[in-house]
Structure 1
Amino acid sequence: MTAQSPNGDGLRLTAKVFSDIERRDADQPEFRQAVHEVLESLEPALERHADYIDDRVLERLCEPERQIIFRVPWTDDAGDIRVNRGFRVEFNSALGPYKGGLRFHPSVDLGIVKFLGFEQTFKNALTGLPIGGGKGGSDFDPKGRSDAEVMRFCQSFMTELHRHLGEYTDVPAGDVGVGRREIGYLFGQYKRITNRYESGVLTGKGLNWGGSQVRTEATGYGTVYFVREMLRSRGEDLDGRRVVVSGSGNVAIYAAQKAAELGATVVALSDSGGYVVDDSGIDLDAVRDIKEARSGRIKEYLDRHNRARYVDGGNIWDVPCEIALPCATQNELDRTAAETLVRNGLVAVGEGANMPTTPEAVKVFSDAGVRFGPGKAANAGGVATSGLEMQQNASRDSWHFDYTDKRLSDIMADIHTMCSETAEAYGAPGNYVLGANIAGFIKVADTMRDLGVI
């Protein structure tokens, strides 16, 4: 029988752990925010399981196993030498090799990568696949760079990073600023240096060289599948719903596509310049041409459809909707935006990005009875399909689109069930934040205890 903790021990432990993190990681606000959100949820589990307290699992889980920082020198097209900083945080390998994307963006620093790696550990645990958590990237900005410059940067980045990777060690994927082009350059350099065609060392690859069907669509599709399950739990569905999606990158586009396929009307998308509203339903073919083919701005949508309107700057969450899918970046949806959404009839939120909703906004949704799918559950579809890509690479196999999509849909349904049942078991029915955090924590914590003091 699991030992019960004396009342209050869980609260005291989480307070102590967070106090230590506040002191040691004072310059990393995103990491501290992510840890605080998880610790708040874990108190009921720690009260019920004293062994987690005795074994110091929580303290160990909040500290990365390894943090790698390195110099990335490269030469631009003018012949000038540039220097960027590279990162890889290998957070937790209790369940399997480190798994998580690489982000190339000027905002990337150690705190951002640690927050993403911490979240990834729980997210990966929820998929049920044997993968640990990690994240990486660089403050390099691929925007405005030629293909040759991006290739030279990726080759320099991988020249250092390759020594830390392997299909049984650490398996990166793409993220913001790292798409199939960048993955191709990274994999090519890895293959060149190691003299091995180790397909499973990177995911998000091209279909001709070990990639998986549905990987491009997976995060967006998975977010909508999770929202569908939240609605089904109330006897509702997506058909006829009005949906707003922030962002207009890969995740946003495919979340919008799947929502439309399931009968919803997606009325708004955004980018860093502003947002476009089309009450007839966003023309996703036009958006793909603007964003993917020509790297344009979302305001160019009005050149195709004069029925739409564009708001320069502003806040996309001012647009009335029943379903909100924040798919842009962290902390984009704050308390004021949440209150506006609730007044306008919001029913459910699915986080397609990592931690896009502030804690104050989450509380607004909770108080209003809005179903809220946290990123570590709702956007787990990307890493789940990466795990499926690893399976195909290991077996030298390739699955067709419909089969892979069905596997993704089933995984997202299983994640929803796990989060829902865990929340119910800990006295918080419908609280997917608590359910996701406790379910992911218990799986990782139990495994860490099985493996000894690691």
Structure 2
Amino acid sequence: MNDTASQEQVIQTLKERYPHQPEFLQAVDEVCRHVSPLLEAHPIYNKARIFERLTEPDRTISFRVTWQDDNNNVHINRGWRVQHSNLIGPYKGGLRFHPKVNESVLKFLAFEQCFKNALTGLPIGGGKGGSDFDPKGRSEHEIMRFCQAFMNELQRHIGPCTDVPAGDINVGSREIGFLYGQYRRLHNEFGGVLTGKELEFGGSHVRLEATGYGLVYFLKALLKDEDESIDGKVVAISGAGNVACHAAKKAISEGAKVVSLSNSKGTLYCENGFEIGVINDLINHRQNKENPLQELAQNGHGKWLKDEKPWRIACDIAAPCATENELLEEDAKRLAENSCKIVIEGANMPCSKDALTVFEKAGITFVPGKASNAGGVALSGLEMSQNANFQSHEFEDLDANLRQIMGSIHQLCKTEGEEKNRINYAKGADIAAFKRLADAMLAQGI
């Protein structure tokens, strides 16, 4: 490939090199469509092959995790850490424990993380990791032993100024505690090598709430720009984890009517909108129940729609907060038919490529997760700062910082995504993040 290779050639090369990594290829292709005009306008980026360099991770670490269950049976899982880019700071991104975790999923998440982290304005690079370990049905002691075995290898590759993992799906404060405890014992040091810790040993206020709250802060900035208010808006949310629940809680507190939450078994629909007390109960007790949403329906807090997604429900705003590619073309068409005005992502790439095409044709405003769900990593960055300075800040101060960061991200996306009759937030997010990464890469040489 010569020095003036087009982005299409780069994409084709990646498809040939990684034919079995569809999630990664989808993420790269979406960025390519938005930054191609920028690359054409700045030949220096093409000469230095910036786009091509940014699509390849610095390294992908793969390792075996061997652990024993409560019956002394030996199990073997795979572990990964994708360190995509540390151009603007230490690698930063979550750890995910799920049987569907594989290299393609983690590479796409790490690539997206670089752009998301760049948008925050904080000095943090991008990475992602995890394992195909399934914690479902495992005892707390089994999860602890797995976390310790996982950290026995991961600890070789991370550090406060090198790579600072956080939590993700199935990796909450409990798992972070087990991981951190093993790192501390192995290294004989107390430091900020992980974020998402408990407050007692270096954690931060607002960390659990940050992604969901941040999504609502971005949404409020968007609506204010259109002389609208979130008050009275009908919001459909998918998922029932931290992001979904805290987005619902914050939206309700701001006057919105949240009518749905969901999981892999179906959707809980509440026509009149959930009360904050119901959401608080879900946040506090969902981990102890097999299907907490169905139980809420049985207790009169909505209607259980078995095996259904929330996207057939009429709403003003849709917020997919579950997992990648959960909102497909037919779901997007249903939202358009029901006059949905805004789709704002709380998860990483939950909308398929075909769904995005439907949104564009229908005139639905779309906000990508790399912008709207950046609140979590923004708070992680603030936790890193607190750890480095042996400080702890109050909830209200950190919440104000989060609101300011999300407002800044909205402004960046608006500035770079302004088109004739609308704001293209996906384009704006990609261009704003790409500029920061590309300029850092140019400044640091080959």
TM-score, structure 2 as length reference: 0.97
SS of equivalent to 1:31: helix
SS of equivalent to 2:355: helix
Report the equivalent of 1:231: 223
Change (3 A) 1:50 1:366: same
SS of equivalent to 2:6: helix
Report the equivalent of 2:134: 141
Match of 1:107 among 85, 100, 103: 100
2:268–2:304 CA contact under 8 A, matched in 1: yes
SS of equivalent to 2:65: strand
Is 1:382 matched with 2:376? yes
Is 1:320 matched with 2:311? no
AA partner of residue 164 (structure 1): H
Q: Deviations over 1:397-452 (max 9, x none)?
A: 1111111011001000000000110112x778400111000110110010011001
2: CA distance, partners of 1:428 / 1:212 = 41
AA partner of residue 277 (structure 1): Y
Report the equivalent of 1:69: 62
Considering only aligned residues, what root-mean-square deviation do their CA atoms show, in Å?
1.5
Q: What is the deviation of 1:314?
A: 1.8
AA partner of residue 220 (structure 1): G
1:239–1:262 CA contact under 8 A, matched in 2: yes
Q: What is the deviation of 1:302?
A: 1.7
Residues 119-138 of structure 1 mapped to structure 2, 5 A cutoff = 119-138=112-131
Is 1:168 matched with 2:161? yes
SS of equivalent to 1:202: coil
Match of 1:340 among 330, 334, 337: 334
Is 1:203 matched with 2:195? yes
Match of 2:354 among 335, 352, 360: 360
Residues 43-442 of structure 1 mapped to structure 2, 5 A cutoff = 43-198=36-191, 200-282=192-274, 283-305=278-300, 308-424=302-418, 429-442=422-435
1:251–1:352 CA contact under 8 A, matched in 2: yes
SS of equivalent to 2:347: coil
Q: Deviations over 1:170-201 (max 9, x none)?
A: 00000001000000000000000000101x11
AA partner of residue 254 (structure 2): L
1:268–1:278 CA contact under 8 A, matched in 2: yes
Is 1:39 matched with 2:39? no
1:286–1:304 CA contact under 8 A, matched in 2: no
Change (3 A) 1:240 1:11: farther
AA partner of residue 34 (structure 2): S
2: CA distance, partners of 1:361 / 1:246 = 16
1:243–1:266 CA contact under 8 A, matched in 2: yes
2: CA distance, partners of 1:432 / 1:14 = 21
2: CA distance, partners of 1:368 / 1:351 = 17
SS of equivalent to 1:325: strand
1: CA distance, partners of 2:421 / 2:187 = 50
Change (3 A) 1:175 1:10: farther
Match of 2:23 among 24, 27, 30: 30
Change (3 A) 1:274 1:22: same
SS of equivalent to 2:156: helix
Q: Deviations over 1:244-270 (max 9, x none)?
A: 110101110001001101100111111
Gaps of 5+ in 1: 1-8
SS of equivalent to 1:134: strand
2: CA distance, partners of 1:163 / 1:270 = 38
Q: What is the deviation of 1:297?
A: 3.6
Q: What is the deviation of 1:23?
A: 0.3
Change (3 A) 1:51 1:428: farther
2: CA distance, partners of 1:423 / 1:387 = 26
2: CA distance, partners of 1:275 / 1:144 = 23
Q: Percent identity among equivalent residues?
A: 50
1: CA distance, partners of 2:354 / 2:229 = 27
Q: What is the deviation of 1:315?
A: 2.2
Which 10-residue stretch deviates more, 231-240 or 93-102? 231-240
1:113–1:136 CA contact under 8 A, matched in 2: yes
Q: What is the deviation of 1:10?
A: 12
2:4–2:47 CA contact under 8 A, matched in 1: no
Matched positions, count:
442
1:10–1:43 CA contact under 8 A, matched in 2: no
Q: What is the deviation of 1:334?
A: 1.0
Q: What is the deviation of 1:309?
A: 1.1
1:286–1:301 CA contact under 8 A, matched in 2: no
SS of equivalent to 2:123: coil
1: CA distance, partners of 2:285 / 2:228 = 34
TM-score, structure 1 as length reference: 0.95
Q: What is the deviation of 1:350?
A: 1.1
Q: What is the deviation of 1:346?
A: 0.7
Which 10-residue stretch deviates more, 115-124 or 229-238? 229-238
Change (3 A) 1:298 1:49: same
2:267–2:308 CA contact under 8 A, matched in 1: yes
Change (3 A) 1:75 1:106: same
1:331–1:356 CA contact under 8 A, matched in 2: yes
Q: What is the deviation of 1:285?
A: 3.0
1: CA distance, partners of 2:227 / 2:353 = 28
AA partner of residue 279 (structure 1): E
